[in-house]
A and B are shown apart, each in its own frame.
Chain A
Amino acid sequence: METIERAPLNELLQLQMELLQSTLNRVYNRVPSYRKAMESVDITPEAVTSLEDIYKLPFTTRQDLIANYPYGQFAVPLRDIIRLHTLSCGISNPIVMGYTKQDVAHRQGLTCRFLSASGVTADDIVQICLDPGMTFLAQELKEAAEAMGALVIPPEPMAVQERLRILVDFKTSTLITFSSYFQYLFAELAESGIQLANLSLKRVLLLDERLNMDVRKEMEQEFAINILCGHGILEAVGPVMAYECEKRNGLHLAMDHLIPEVIDPDTGAVLPHGERGELVITTLTTKANPLMRFRTGELTRIISEPCVCGRVGWRMEPVYGRTDGLVQVRGLNISLNQVDEFVRRGMGRLSSNASLQAVPYVMAVRKERFLERLELWIAITDDFFAGSLPLLHNWLRDMEMEFEDAFGLSCRMRPVELCTLESYLKQGLRVIYL
């Protein structure tokens, strides 16, 4: 355990206070959008004299990050940035995140902390299985594990059978992946006839918390492994901003890098610890892209009682839902608003009828052997389509290609009759899980 993880709480809070003040001093002078936001509520950095004063600051949303494309959110000159990531937001401008050398070092330090809290050491053989859309997380995990001296097998696009072969033949001791892929991989494993005794796997680290606790326990017993979760958002501090300890009583937040709050998603009011609401974070150590009260859109609860493992910082419960119409598929965030816009534009190309209303569609997340696959069920009505079937098929194929380009994930377009969707739409369901 790192010293900071078991530092007395008052020491931690003093550190947070100092870091918050210096971050605000920097962003107020350097990031016009933050300055404007602070001026709009009549706040200067001087007004923040306690951690509670953070509640006076305005929120930052993903929309703000998109609006300040490309470099409007940067608090350092471009030449101090050594790495840029763009987070695709579908058809709007992407979110651009930059990192200074120090930011990269902090991210790596935090990733190492997650790995070692999960029990990874220099003796481990770490295999990373993530989708191509998650390359930058995979990259950071790889760098961190390498820095710890572990042997790393980074993800490469390959068939599941190849991955299983590596798992067995290379004696992987730690597997890092997402829950749905993990279940898929292990279902394949069971069918492949590989003897479990040949497996050297000790632990599986999941980058989401969507695996049901009971399923988790079952799998842990069956395969004699530990399954631990880490949680992160793409916009802040690293692949993982909260991680489980061996006690598994929620996820330990990296309190030396961020200040967490939970708010009522409708009113924006701050909720006391223990109540469920939307997670809001303020970064403390990020130099290039500091986030001030960033609304993550994730629904959770903060547990402020210290954990029995000895770490004093607060914990968060696994995320149980979202507020912002973001759908997480294989670790990628897909915004329904963006899909709306995508479909509307697509329709425009098929039909010249400009007065066309929004076309009903439903997004279906289908689990095929545990692996999530995305489908769009689009209602084809006479209003806008009177052409030939080959034309429709071509259009659907184009839409599939464009979707993959825009969102980084393949998606099947299924033409359906309106009546098929009606039952879902009546219930207000936009996303269905099959």
Chain B
Amino acid sequence: MLQIKNLNTYYASIAILRNLSLHVRQGEIVCLIGANGAGKTTLLRTISGLVPCSQGEILYRDRSILGLAPDVIVKMGIGHSPEGRQVFAPLTVMENLELGAYHRFGRAEKTEIQGDFDRIFQLFPRLYERRRQIAGTLSGGEQQMLAIGRALMAKPNLLLLDEPSLGLAPKLVEGIFQAIVTLNQAEGLTILIVEQNARRVLEMAHRGYVLETGRIVLQGTAQELRDDSDVQRAYLGKDYAQVTER
């Protein structure tokens, strides 16, 4: 579904992503793990067209999308739920969701969009309760639900999720992850997820990539990565200090 070949992204003259290649198949949850500053968020932002300075190839359904405007990319079916949620604080929950469906507004789609509201409220009943509330007053977890809901309103085929668990209480994280699995299993949504919580995301994802300073250094099925000593040391909290060096 998504194929990336030799992507190089720069902020000014500094290379953030170097020769990065990855792929996501239809129906998969693929996760990206890596330390802060490895380039995970930059990668998602490059895919959705928010970071312009890039070389390489990004193919979505065999069509090149590199260099297209973000709105065109959203229309093609790539939704993006950004890091730190970034909901429109002064607007209500409903208005935020409506904005997510902005590119679909038209007479014909009206009932369809109505149906989508129901779908999202079903997934996140909490949002229904707060639908008239100003988004800025929601809790962190609720804002995250809203950010995902807003991305879903664009009816994406591929959802890019950036750190959905950031700053959330463990219980809320569980709920968000549950919803992600539901979206993938029940609706067949393809998901590329960036996550700090490597342990939890590797339980949920099918495959994963490990990013280090803009380069992919490891990849495999989630099981393989979970069992990998490098991943365990770097991201799952099993440090060298805990074992005697042979």
Contacts and interface: CB of A to CB of B under 8 A. Distances in A.
B215 to A, nearest CB: 5
Interface stretch (B172-180, B188-196, B223-231): B223-231
B224 A102 contact: yes
Contacts of A49: 5-6, 19
Interface string B212-227: 1001111110001001
Contacts of A11: 23
Contacts of B22: 18
Contacts of A25: 212, 215-217
A49 B216 CA distance: 13
Which one of A15, A17, A21, A78 has the highest number of Cβ atoms from chain B below 10 Å of its Cβ?
Answer: A21
B23 to A, nearest CB: 5
Interface string B193-221: 00000000000000000001001111110
B21 interface: yes
B34 to A, nearest CB: 12
Given A21-B216, A76-B229, A102-B224, A14 B19 contact: no
Contacts of B18: 46
A22 B19 contact: no
Given A26-B217, A79-B245, A21 B229 contact: no
Given A14-B3, A14-B5, A100-B229, A19 B245 contact: no
Interface residues of A, number: 25
A430 interface: no
A49 B228 CA distance: 26
Contacts of B217: 22, 25-26
B246 interface: yes
Nearest to B19: A46
Given A14-B5, A100-B229, A19 B219 contact: yes
Interface string B60-80: 000000000000000000000
Contacts of A341: none
A173 B212 CA distance: 49
Contacts of B218: 22, 26
B108 interface: no
DSSP majority for the B interface?
A: strand
Helix, strand, loop or mixed for chain A's interface? helix
Contacts of B246: 77-79
A17 B243 contact: no
B23 A18 contact: yes
B21 A14 contact: yes
Contacts of B20: 21
Nearest to A16: B21
Nearest to A19: B219
B147 to A, nearest CB: 29
A41 B236 CA distance: 37
A313 interface: no
Contact of B228 (A18, A78, A79, A102): A102
B230 A48 contact: no
A397 interface: no
A45 B23 contact: no
Contacts of A46: 18-19
B141 to A, nearest CB: 34
Interface in B4-21: 5-6, 18-21
10 closest A-B pairs by CB: A80-B229, A49-B6, A79-B246, A18-B21, A25-B215, A22-B216, A25-B217, A78-B246, A14-B23, A17-B21
Interface of B: 3, 5-6, 18-23, 212, 215-220, 224, 227-230, 243, 245-246
21 contacts: A11-B23, A14-B21, A17-B5, A18-B22, A18-B23, A18-B216, A22-B216, A22-B217, A22-B219, A25-B217, A45-B19, A45-B215, A46-B19, A76-B230, A77-B245, A79-B243, A80-B229, A100-B228, A101-B227, A101-B229, A102-B228
